[in-house]
Amino acid sequence: MKRKELSAAQIIPIGFLLMIALGTGLLSLPFATASGQRAPFLTALFTSTTSVCVTGLVVVDTFSYWSLFGKAVILMLIQIGGLGILAVSASLIMLLHKSFSIRGRAMLRDSFDLDSLHGVLPFLRRVVLGVLTVEGIGAVLYAIAFVPRFGFARGIWYAVFHAISAFCNAGLDLIGPDSFQPFHDSPYVLLVTMALIIFGGLGYIVWFDTFSTARESVRRRFGVRWFFRHLSEHTKLVLSATAFLIVFGAGATLLLEMRNPLTLGALPWGERILNAVFQSVTYRTAGFAAIPQSGLSDGSVLFGTVMMFIGGSPMGTAGGVKTVTLAVLLLSALSYVRGHADTVVFRRRIEQSLVKKAAAILSFSLLLSLLSSVLLSAADGVPLTDAVFEVFSATGTVGLSRGITPQLSVFGRILIILCMYLGRIGPISLALFFHTDLSGGKNIRYAQGRYFVG
C-alpha cells in the first residue's frame, strides 16, 4: 500500500504541536524556574503555547518566575513560532548543506502562499536574512535605552529579548508585571517597539516589493508617485489598510480614553497621543501594554476586540484574520451594493475564489471566538466583557489581558490554550486547505436552489 504523504496544511498544525510539547518539556525542568522547583505541567504547557503561538498571555510573570534558562527557552520558542515551523526546519536543512526535495519546496511554497516552486529557497533566504537584520537593528536601538537603565549585560539581554518578541508580535516581556507601562512617557522606546511590531505584521512579500520598488525609484530618480504606482496591488492594499487602521485606531482610542483617569486621562496631551497610537498598534496582535488594560472603558474593550480580530497582514508574524481578508470582504460588499459585476481595487480584479476563502477564514474565526467567549464566561464566572477580550486576544494571538489570565480555572486555561493554538494555525491551515484542489465532487454541478438572504 502506498504511504499517504502529509500536506503542508497537515504538517503545520502537527509541527506546532510538537514544538509546544518540546517547549513544555524544557520548561518543566527544575532549572527552568527561578525557584529551582518544577513548574506545574499546566503552567509549562500554557507558557510554551503562548510562546510558540506568539500570543503573550501568561499565567505567571515571565520576568520573575522563570530562570535565565527558562527565558532563553521562551525566546527560542517565540523565534520559531514567529518564523514558522516549516521555515525554521528548511533553514536548518540549508544550513547543514542538505539537499531539499521537490516536496519540501512545495510545502514551503504553500506555507508562504507563493504561486510557484521557482525561487522558493532564495525567498526563504531573504526572509531569514531580513528577519535577523530587522531584529538586530531593533536590539541595537533598544540597547541604547536599556543599557543605561538596567546595566550592560542585563540591558543587552533585554534588548535582544524584546526586539525578537516585538518583531514576532509575541508581547512577552521581561520589564515587570506591568508590561511596558514604565515606558509610557518614553517616545523613543515606544516608537522603536511600534516600528518592530509594524514591520513584523506587514508580511515578507510587502517588505521585498517595497524595498525593490524603492531601490528602483532612487536609482532612476523617480518620485514618490512613481514609487506607489509601481508597487504590487497586494502591497498597496496592505500598506493602505495598515495605515488606515493605525490612524483610525489611534483616533478612536484617544476619543474613548482621553477623559479616563485610569488610562489616558491623567497624562499630558503629548503622552495621550503617543499612547493612543501605541495602543492602536499593539491592539492588532502585539500584546505590549503601555496603559492598564483593566482600566479601559467598555467602548474601548469592544473596539479593541474588533481590532484584535482583524490582526496584521498575510505572510508576517502577526495573527488575526488579517487586514487583506477584511478588505477583500468589504470591497466585495461595496461592489455588490454598487451593482458591479467584479470587485476591483487599484485597477485589479479580485477573484471570487479569494472572496470565498476570505469569507471562510472570517466565519470560522468569528465562530470559534464567540463560542469560546461564552464558554469561558459560563465556566469561570468572569464578566462577559472580560471573557470576550481574553478570548479574542488569544485567537488573535495578541496577548492583551484585563488581568484575568492568572485567575483562570483549569478548564479556563485549557480553553485559552486551545484558542491560542487554533488562532495561530487556524487561518493558515484554512487558507492552505482552501488553496488546494479538493478531490471529491469538484466536477459535479448541482441544480440551482432558490434561497433568500438579507
Q: Each residue of 172-206: b (16+ CB within 10 Å) or e?
A: bbbbeeebbbebbebeebbebbbbbbbbbbbbbbb
Q: Is residue 451 scored above 90 in pLDDT?
A: no
Asked if 85 and 16 touch (Cβ cutoff 8 Å), the reply is yes
- CA-CA distance, 405 to 382, in Å (whole number)? 11
Q: Span 332-355, mean pLDDT?
A: 89
**pLDDT given at position 93:** 58
Query: Distance from CA of residue 136 to its chain's centroid?
Result: 20
Mean pLDDT of the chain: 87
Percent of the chain predicted with pLDDT > 90: 62
Residue 8 reports pLDDT greater than 70: no
Query: What's the mean pLDDT in 16-26?
Result: 94
- CA angle (375, 378, 379) in 5-degree steps: 80
Q: Quick one: how far is CA 166 from the chain centroid?
A: 10
Q: Name residue 12's amino acid.
A: I
pLDDT tens for each residue of 96-114: 556 656 666 666 666 666 6
Q: Return the pLDDT at 1.
A: 45
**What Å distances lie between residue 294 and 171, 172, 246, 384, 409, CA to CA?**
17, 18, 22, 14, 19
Three-state secondary-structure class, residue 66: strand
pLDDT of 111: 60
Out of 114-123, 235-244, 394-403, least confident range: 114-123
Q: What is the DSSP string of 158-181?
A: HHHHHHHHHHTT----SS-TTTTG
Dist CA 11 CA 19 (whole Å): 12
Q: Which of 22-36, 73-87, 359-373, 417-431 has the lowest mean pLDDT?
A: 417-431
Mean pLDDT of 37-52: 96
Q: Tell me, what's the pLDDT at 228?
A: 86
48-87 in b/e form (b: 16+ CB < 10 A) is bbbbbbbbbbbbbebbebbbeebbebbbbbbbbbbbbbbb
Averaged pLDDT for residues 20-37 = 96
User: How far is 314 from 316, CA to CA, in rounded Å?
Assistant: 6
pLDDT per residue as tens digits for the range 296-338: 999 999 999 999 999 999 888 888 999 999 999 999 999 989 8
Residues 6+ apart with CB under 8 A from 397: 53, 54, 55, 56, 169, 285, 311, 318, 319, 320, 420, 423, 424
Q: Per-residue confidence at 438, pLDDT binned at 50, 70, 90?
A: very low
Which pLDDT value is given to residue 188? Answer: 97
Residues 6+ apart with CB under 8 A from 344: 335, 350
- Nearest residue to 425 (alpha-carbon basis) of 206, 111, 170: 111
pLDDT at 100: 59
- Cα separation, 225 vs 208, in Å, equals 19
What is the 3-state composition of the chain as percent helix, strand, coil, each rounded to the nearest 5?
65, 0, 30
State yes or no: pLDDT of 126 exceeds 90: no
Query: What's the pLDDT at 122?
Result: 79
**For position 342, what pLDDT does the model report?**
86
pLDDT tens-place string over residues 354-373: 898 899 889 989 999 999 99
Q: What is the pLDDT of residues 171-224, one digit of tens each?
A: 999 998 889 999 999 999 999 999 999 999 998 889 999 999 988 888 887 777
d(CA 413, CA 339): 47
State how far the alpha carbon of 55 is from the alpha carbons of 126, 279, 400, in Å. Answer: 25, 16, 9
The residues, any chain, with a CB within 8 Å of residue 334's CB and separated by 6 or more, are: none
DSSP 120-133: HHHHHHHHHHHHHH
Tell me how far apart the alpha carbons of residues 28 and 42 are, in angstroms, rounded to a whole number: 10
Cα–Cα dist 238/432, whole Å:
20
Q: Using CA atoms in the order 337, 342, 347, 353, what is the torsion angle rounded to 10 degrees?
A: 120
Over the stretch 262-276, which tens digit does the pLDDT of each residue have?
A: 999 999 999 999 999
Amino acid letter, 301: V
Q: How far is CA 16 from the centre of its chain?
A: 15
pTM of the model: 0.89
Evaluate if residue 87 carries a pLDDT over 90.
no
**For cell 480555572, what's the residue?**
409
Mean pLDDT within 426-431: 56
CA 128, CA 280: separation in Å to the nearest integer? 28
